Amino acid sequence: KQEVTQIPAALSVPEGENLVLNCSFTDSAIYNLQWFRQDPGKGLTSLLLIQSSQREQTSGRLNASLDKSSGRSTLYIAASQPGDSATYLCAVRYYGGSQGNLIFGKGTKLSVKP
Amino acid sequence: KAGVTQTPRYLIKTRGQQVTLSCSPISGHRSVSWYQQTPGQGLQFLFEYFSETQRNKGNFPGRFSGRQFSNSRSEMNVSTLELGDSALYLCASSLEGSSYNSPLHFGNGTRLTVT
């Protein structure tokens, strides 16, 4: 079964700390992997999209890596700020099965304390 | 450029009724997909449309249906509502054709409450 798992479910850090969010997936046959953030009551905001042929993507203080062989992706947030507080979701688009189906993890709820 | 627009923002319905939700994608985006988000199940894929054709469908009962119009706007319909249909329904659009190379852009969702 194609699944996506995110650990931890919640994380609280002091402002200024560098942190890593984890995402694991069960099948290496993927089109791509995308990281999103979701603020309470809102939709998802796309942060980074990594194609299956890529190893990492960077945007500002964010860096996402992809290791298909181990079925893992990490989202690195440098110098965290209270405004980074949100739920971060990882989504994997798998080949095969329901082709093009996007599977989401349940997210990591991040709280950055001032 | 305007983002993905979903209407209405909130809906309250009673069991047995039906509901139609609307999604206007970003201009130029031809792919629209729908997701259901609940605290217990998280985000689950409902269906995806591209050029007015349903391209993929998730594991939801036939009460859930959708369509896409020639201007790429999409609607989803839920008939015979059940309490368990209460959720945030999210629509996303993307540029992609068959290659799935483009990021998804989400609307703010429609919060459906079934009483």
Q: Supply the pLDDT for residue B97.
A: 64
Mean pLDDT (chain B, rounded): 93
Residues 75-114 (A) with a CB less than 8 A from some CB of B: 89, 91, 93, 98-107
- Integer CA distances (angstroms), B105 to B69, B75, B100, in order: 19, 17, 13
CB contact at 8 A, B43 and B102: no
Q: Determine the pLDDT at residue A72.
A: 97
Which positions in chain B have a beta carbon within 8 angstroms of at least one beta carbon in chain A?
4, 6, 33, 35, 42-45, 48, 55-58, 90, 92, 99-109, 111
Identify which of A1-15, A27-41, A72-86 has the greatest average pLDDT.
A72-86
Cβ atoms of residues B45 and B106 within 8 Å: no
B47 has a pLDDT exceeding 70: yes
- A42 Cβ under 8 Å from any chain B Cβ: yes
pLDDT, tens digit (0-9, with 9 covering 90-100), for B73-100? 999 999 999 999 999 999 999 987 656 7
pLDDT of B12 above 70: yes
Place of tokens 């993507």: A57
pLDDT at A42 over 80: yes
Chain A neighbors of B104, CB-CB under 8 A: 34, 44, 46, 91, 102
Could you tell me which of B80, B47, B77, B82 has the C-alpha nearest to residue B64? B77
Note whether A16 and A80 are within 8 A (CB).
yes
3-class SS string, A48-77: EEEECCCCEEEECCEEEEEECCCCEEEEEE
Distance CA B40, CA A102 (A): 18
pLDDT band at A29 (very low <50, low <70, confident <90, very high): confident
pLDDT at A33: 95
Owner of token pair 């509901």? B19
